[in-house]
Structure 1
Amino acid sequence: CSACSRVYVQKNIANQFMEKLVSKVKSLKIGHPWEKDIFLGPVINDDAVKKFQKASDVAKKDGKVVFGGSVLKESDYQHGYFVEPTIVADLPQEHELVREELFLPFVCVIQFDSFDEAIKMANKTNYGLTAGIFSKDQKEIEAFFEKIEAGVTYANRDASATTGAMVGAQPFVGWKESGISGKGAGGAYYLLQFMREQTQTRCE
């Protein structure tokens, strides 16, 4: 649920970033999750495969599939719901694939000119579970934490840049349609929402 589905990258490094991203994704091993060297297992069911295929077809029509976009059916993949990890570019910010959560190995890469533009685009969604930033500018990092509309946020986290929370160390909470109460599981305020207050007045 918190896997990265959108990447906003500054235009002047976009080509370099895309080359590295594609190279990394090409190296990922797909297969049965009980095998130690597998990075990506199957999606959950046939409906997810159909959703993936539809999203890939739409991406090819409205944008550009830079890598992936296919359902895997050959050899070891014929007994399972396997799909290629997919990278998409050149979709407009308002596109449904950019704004909706697919729960699939599917990432949209969007370019931006300025930091403020990136924050505005990142917030233009109904969801707000996790978000991350990579920057050497401390002022940008502080502005990101202040302005981003997400419950679990990171700066310059190498591993799983936007994914999940550190269990036992951080509350896990979503904003907007990614949550209901605004209280994070594992946080100091989470248990209180399952309790009721009672005022007792005793007169003698």
Structure 2
Amino acid sequence: TEMGGKNPTIVAASADLDKAALGVVRAAFGYGGQKCSACSRVLVERRVKDAFLAKLIAETEKLKVGDPTVRDVHLGPVINEAAVATYQKAIAEIKSSNGKILTGGHAHPSDGHFVEPTIVDGLPRDHRINKEELFVPILSIVEVDDLTDAIRVANDVDYGLTAGIFSREPSELHRFFAEVEAGVAYANRAAGATTGAVVGVQPFGGWKMSGMSGKSAGGPYYLPQFLRERSESEYA
């Protein structure tokens, strides 16, 4: 089963930054961040942080918020007033904690339940925004020293649903898959850095607080947990 997430994407120094920016934007802001597999944290190596952020912000600012039935609109409204309030509370917390809002940060409640896709930086690693699932389009940037640091931060939450990495080093990818605590993990997925499991085709489920049975929906071991086993023998 899957039960929410605080899903990280690691951007290594060797990453294709254009692909990484596209994948993160799609995962973070698709459906307004209102899906359990949304990317809500980016753990980016210090030496490529500025270059990556420039691309990430540029991609984010291309997104149009409005009526989702209009073809060129990427983000419709969040689901209700409570979601708008969650967004506004988070923005207030970010500002009071001296976090930096790199783009977005505004709600437009007079027009409907519309909020802007938002990227924030500079929050402490243990800040609530970096620990709790919000279900709104807020993406937090965390600067890391190297892959060891990134994996440590990625795993330092209660959840373990999905995780992604962008790297062109095979050894980094192997280590990521071996050490990251997530039920679904992706490498170099521009279509959505932490999203995209096809239920019924690809097993989808989480570890830690992101799941409760250890079995992934759509996987071969999921259905038998609802059955009672019996061994039968017949002799002549």
TM range (shorter): over 0.9
Structure 1 residues 159-170: aligned runs within 5 Å? 159-170=191-202
Are the aligned partners of 2:42 and 2:139 in contact in 1 as well (CA < 8 Å)?
A: yes
Q: One-letter code of the match for 2:144?
A: F
Deviation at 1:178, TM superposition (A): 0.8
Q: Does 1:186 align with 2:201?
A: no
Corresponding residue of 1:70: 106
Deviations 1:105-124 (A, max 9, x none): 01000011111010000000
Aligned residue identity for 1:162: T
Corresponding position: 1:27 with 2:48: no
Matched, 1:3 2:35: no
Gaps of 5+ in 1: none
Residues of 1 paired with 2:235 and 2:194: CA distance? Answer: 55
Aligned to 2:73: 38
Give SS of 2:140's match.
strand
Q: State the identity as a percent.
A: 51
Match of 2:153 in 1: 121
**Partner amino acid for 1:191?**
L
Q: What is the CA–CA distance in structure 2 between the aligned matches of 1:178 and 1:32, rounded to whole Å?
A: 32
Report how many residues are paired: 200
Aligned to 1:197: 229
Matches of 1:190 and 1:31, distance apart in 2: 39
TM-score, normalised to structure 2, is: 0.81
**Structure 2: which amino acid aligns with 1:51?**
T
User: What is the DSSP-based 3-state SS (H/G/I as helix, E as strand, rest coil) of the residue aligned with 2:39?
Assistant: coil
Do the aligned partners of 1:175 and 1:182 also contact (CA within 8 Å) in 2?
yes
After the TM superposition, which residues 142-157 of structure 1 pair with which residues of structure 2 at under 5 Å, given as runs?
Answer: 142-157=174-189
Q: In 1, are the aligned partners of 2:215 and 2:222 still within 8 Å (CA)?
A: yes
Supply the distance in 1 between the matched residues of 2:105 and 2:233 (Cα, whole angstroms): 66
Task: Give the equivalent residue in structure 1 for 2:82.
Answer: 47
d(CA) in 2 for partners of 1:65, 1:37: 25
Measured after TM superposition, the shift of residue 130 of structure 1 is 0.7
Deviates more, 1:169-178 or 1:93-102: 169-178
Q: Counterpart in 2 of 1:58?
A: 93
Aligned to 2:135: 103
Structure with bigger gyration radius: 1
Task: Return the offset for 1:198.
Answer: 2.8
TM-score for both structures, normalised by structure 1: 0.93
User: Offset of 1:67 from its aligned partner?
Assistant: 1.0
| Superposed CA RMSD | 1.6
Task: State the Cα distance separating 1:167 from its structure 2 match.
Answer: 4.0
Deviations, residues 132-182 of structure 1 (Å, cap 9, x unaligned)? 000111011000000000011101111111113134431111111111111
